[in-house]
A and B are shown apart, each in its own frame.
Chain A
């Protein structure tokens, strides 16, 4: 790489052949194309921007339609009293997803493949079926939300829902991971509109800070409804598909060991954005409640808010609801398709064109199309389905985290990237809390009189 490299370096771009022939890896013939920079600061910034993506996407996509519904319902029923619970979930989100980052970078494989290989076919299949079931039900709720929002905007869902599904399918069919990631990151950044919505509608900042930092219970104390909602909040903030999605995404993006600290930063920033957006959604719900509206679903909440904040605010909330559903749909469908492709041994990369990964893309397409189709057929109690799915995900989550915890303690697999003792303390604490919440739900179901009624 003599003259060619010199010329390239003046253009701030370097192209050189790889030097690892015979290493047994798949792309020895692929030339390395890099950017040349002069300062360490620029190098670090550019590296971060190149690594940035999976962490932000997984976190923001977690604020999907179900999350918008759950958070705004929490705000509508309990005002800003539950903000501290959402804030408490920030470190929980980060620590869980950070383990996924380590596992993905160290193995270069997805979570489903790891469970399959390390725990055997039975557990691999068990996890896969669980994942596919919860994911599909969640996809139905995403399209249900799109349906609701479009109806409130005066758009016929019979055209709007299939159009949204078609756009979501086109999004992944470009044969370029980078193109998909750029579009999705752009959609993630639109989430910042929630900050403006909360700013416009929000109660006094002092009240928000107080309820975010000082744990308090709403008037009426601990009731079955409150417990159910708290479990739904936990279930929507930490979902099983996130573990599968981020690890597969990291594997597809081929993140390297040297990228670990930037991937951690990406995940941490994503966790901050998603928790802050969740707080904003809760504030929006609280604002509608403060004006005397009864919460039925987020689309109705947007319409209610529109009566005093103007139609522009109503449409903005509805558009954000659609954006949340679109982000959730692409991430959840991909986690299903990646997981299935990994277990079946199919080619499963967004870098591949359709003809080279037909099974992978077909599963994505079928998931999206079937969920969109189901929403258009009957009139179901959508709000109940949304909340029920979040609770189901919250109950299944402990198992997914236990697999993660066992894998992260597998020194044979991860070596120096395995959990440290303090990681285990934090993670077992999280697992115990999740189990306790699930057991409270069980107690509530089996002995409803255990808690005082409202």
Chain B
């Protein structure tokens, strides 16, 4: 959007020029601090356990 002589130009995002965004590839992986690593490992264990439980539960309901 630009202003010109009390007029406003509204541009659809798809018609606008590409905006420069964060260069995520240059950033590389996130720093694995102890807390981040711990939360991800806990998550992995939690997910495996929960998926198994839900599958079991649905199978019991289906019987």
Contacts and interface: CB of A to CB of B under 8 A. Distances in A.
Nearest to B42: A402
Nearest to A114: B24
Contacts of A109: 21, 24
A201 B63 CA distance: 35
A118 interface: yes
A117 interface: yes
* Size band of the interface chain B makes with A: 35 or more
Given A113-B24, A117-B27, A258-B1, A34 B54 contact: no
A435 B16 CA distance: 42
Contact of A388 (B1, B49, B58): B58
**Max chain A CB contacts within 10 Å: which of B19, B25, B44, B49?**
B19
Given A351-B14, A396-B47, A384 B62 contact: yes
B27 A118 contact: yes
Interface string A146-178: 000000000000000000000000000000011
A35 B10 CA distance: 5
A106 B30 contact: no
- Interface residues of A: mostly helix, strand, loop or mixed? helix
Interface residues of A, number: 71
A438 B48 CA distance: 13
B54 A392 contact: yes
B57 A38 contact: no
A345 to B, nearest CB: 11
A398 B1 CA distance: 38
Contact of B18 (A26, A130, A384): A26
A213 to B, nearest CB: 32
Interface in A7-55: 9, 14, 18, 20, 23-28, 30, 32-40, 42-43, 46-47, 50-51
Nearest to A351: B14
Interface in B10-59: 10-22, 24-25, 27-31, 36, 39-40, 43-44, 46-47, 49-51, 53-54, 56-58
Nearest to A51: B13
A261 interface: no
A149 to B, nearest CB: 23
Contacts of A107: 21-22, 24
Contacts of B21: 106-109
B8 A28 contact: no
A187 interface: no
A422 to B, nearest CB: 20
B51 to A, nearest CB: 7
Interface stretch (A76-84, A191-199, A303-311, A439-447): A439-447
Contacts of B29: 117-120
A26 B17 CA distance: 8
A46 B8 CA distance: 11
Interface in A177-211: 177-178
B40 A119 contact: yes
A399 interface: yes
B62 A381 contact: yes
Nearest to B49: A442
A38 to B, nearest CB: 6
18 contacts: A24-B20, A25-B17, A32-B11, A32-B17, A34-B9, A40-B8, A118-B30, A253-B14, A254-B18, A255-B13, A256-B16, A257-B19, A384-B58, A388-B54, A395-B51, A399-B43, A413-B24, A441-B53
Complex A-B, nearest 10 residue pairs according to Cβ-Cβ distance, in ascending order: A25-B18, A108-B21, A34-B11, A388-B58, A43-B8, A34-B9, A118-B30, A33-B15, A18-B17, A395-B50
Given A35-B9, A253-B13, A398-B46, 20 more contacts: A14-B9, A26-B18, A30-B17, A34-B15, A38-B8, A43-B8, A46-B10, A50-B10, A51-B13, A107-B21, A108-B19, A108-B21, A117-B29, A118-B29, A120-B29, A253-B14, A254-B14, A351-B14, A395-B54, A445-B56
